[in-house]
Amino acid sequence: MKTAMGLLLAVAATAVQADNVSTNVNLGGSATEQSAAFGVTHLEEGAFFDTFNFSPSSGTYSVNASLVTLGFTPSTDVTFTAANVNGHELTLSGPGLFEYGYLLPAAITGPLVLTVYGYVNFEDTSFTPASASYAGTLTINAVPEPGAYVLLLAGLGVVGAAGFSRRRQGA
């Protein structure tokens, strides 16, 4: 029994995890374009997953996003392992002291949730207290309703018919 308990404690001690963050972010801007900046500072070493819930919560939007971290020393290093907005993966740079991620504009239906996975590494413990942070932006643009395209095509049809009618009258 003591051996099993010791093994369990040893496994638990090696499973280092940074604090996970879950936060709500309000988008600001006009009716057609909204954006928000966000950031996180981790004070614990280990793996993390952070969740950002954006408002407005419903609708279809053209969404782009970015992440960036800059660690001047190994004691402030964040490594991104994955990030996505509603399952649309961000393209991530390789590991290093400067890392970034981005999502090119993609049509995504809300509610919009950005999830960031990574690891905080405090190699040099001479810097205390140690912290590591990253920041990002998310921008949304309204996607026109299908009815807007129908009206556009109808308008082009009327203009084309008027031009055809004038051409017939002139001949």
Domains and CATH numbers, the chain: 17-161 (2.60.120)
pTM of the model: 0.73
Per-10-residue mean pLDDT of the chain, 171 residues long, equals: 40 55 88 91 92 86 94 80 97 90 94 95 69 93 68 72 70 61
For 114, counting Cβ atoms within 10 Å of its Cβ (0-12 exposed, 13-18 middle, 19+ buried), the class is buried
Look at residue 159 in the predicted model and tell me its pLDDT: 76
User: Which residue's entry shows tokens 């299908």?
Assistant: 146
Look at residue 19 in the predicted model and tell me its pLDDT: 78
Give me 99's structure tokens: 């890392």
Torsion, Cα of 50, 99, 77, 97 (10° steps): 180
Q: CA 46, CA 49: separation in Å to the nearest integer? A: 10
Give me 136's structure tokens: 């990002």
Look at residue 64 in the predicted model and tell me its pLDDT: 95
